[in-house]
């Protein structure tokens, strides 16, 4: 399986990527995770990327393309792979094509997760995370028993800086402007699978697997 996963912020890309990776035993390459690690480690690159990430904007192509290509060089993509959050615009899609061409491989499918903007906004703005045990709550669904406090360890829950409403709306605009053209690009290439991402993680995963298994 050689896959790309695209979708607007909060469509559940990370959750589905982890399930797909485990199901097919393939390499999972998440550009967002790679960037967050650089930010956490306060590398030069992380410091350069952080402002863009906090504003909900895409980090510059030269930075992300080099970063992903470097990661791919040290990743076992022979057994199959899933790119999550990359490519995010046509320039990155071309860079990925070039990389894969050089390696002599092609993409099998591009999974496009989509749902309504109001669902995406509620998922993000309702999310609260425990800084101690990383449990993820949602005040509109899976709320903690006491507002703002982790059920497990009593820690004060926090909101990710890019989950604030203003940033979420900005990320959606950026998706429409820069990433949505990829949907058409991969549709024309006959690679696109449309998946409704409004259900539970298990429902969405079942839909992905059944589409992929149909070939």
CB of 174 to ligand AMP, least distance (A): 8
- Residue 30 CA to residue 5 CA, distance in Å, equals 10
Query: Which 86-105 positions form the footprint of ligand AMP (CB under 6 A)?
Result: 86, 88, 92
| Number of shown-chain residues binding ligand AMP (CB under 6 A) | 16
Catalytic member of 122, 160, 164, 169: 160
48 is catalytic: no
136/146 with CB nearer ligand AMP: 136
86/186 with CB nearer ligand AMP: 86
Q: What is the DSSP letter of 11?
A: S
Return the closest-CA partner of residue 33 out of 47, 53, 19. 53
Query: Which 171-190 positions form the footprint of ligand AMP (CB under 6 A)?
Result: 171
Q: Does the protein bind ligand AMP through residue 199 (CB under 6 A)?
A: no
171 is catalytic: yes
Mention every residue, 6+ apart, whose C-beta is less than 8 A from residue 105: 2, 77
Q: Does the protein bind ligand AMP through residue 127 (CB under 6 A)?
A: no
* Cβ-based neighbour number of residue 202 at 10 Å: 10
Q: Which one of 6, 17, 29, 53 is in contact with ligand AMP (CB under 6 A)?
A: 53
Strand partners, 5: 84, 111
- Residue 151 CA to residue 155 CA, distance in Å, equals 8
Catalytic center residues: 13, 88, 127, 160, 171
């Amino acid at each position: 399986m050689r896959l790309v996963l695209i979708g607007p912020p909060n469509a559940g890309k990370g959750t589905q990527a982890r399930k797909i990776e485990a199901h097919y035993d393939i390499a999972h390459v998440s550009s967002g995770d790679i960037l967050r690690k650089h930010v956490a480690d306060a590398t030069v690159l992380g410091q350069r990327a952080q402002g863009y990430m906090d504003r909900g904007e895409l980090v510059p192509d030269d930075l992300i393309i080099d970063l992903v290509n470097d990661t791919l060089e040290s990743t076992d993509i022979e057994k199959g792979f899933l790119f999550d959050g990359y490519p995010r615009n046509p320039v990155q899609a071309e860079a990925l094509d070039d990389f894969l061409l050089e390696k002599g491989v092609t993409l099998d499918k591009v999974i496009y997760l989509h749902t309504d903007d109001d669902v995406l906004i509620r998922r993000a703005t309702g999310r609260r995370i425990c800084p101690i045990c990383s449990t993820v709550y949602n005040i509109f669904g899976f709320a903690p028993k006491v507002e703002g406090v982790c059920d497990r360890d009593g820690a004060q829950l926090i909101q990710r800086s890019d989950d604030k409403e203003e940033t979420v709306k900005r990320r959606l605009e950026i998706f429409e402007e820069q990433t949505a053209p990829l949907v058409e690009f991969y549709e024309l290439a006959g690679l696109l699978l449309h998946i409704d991402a409004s259900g539970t993680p298990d429902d969405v995963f079942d839909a992905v697997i059944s589409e992929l298994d149909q070939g």
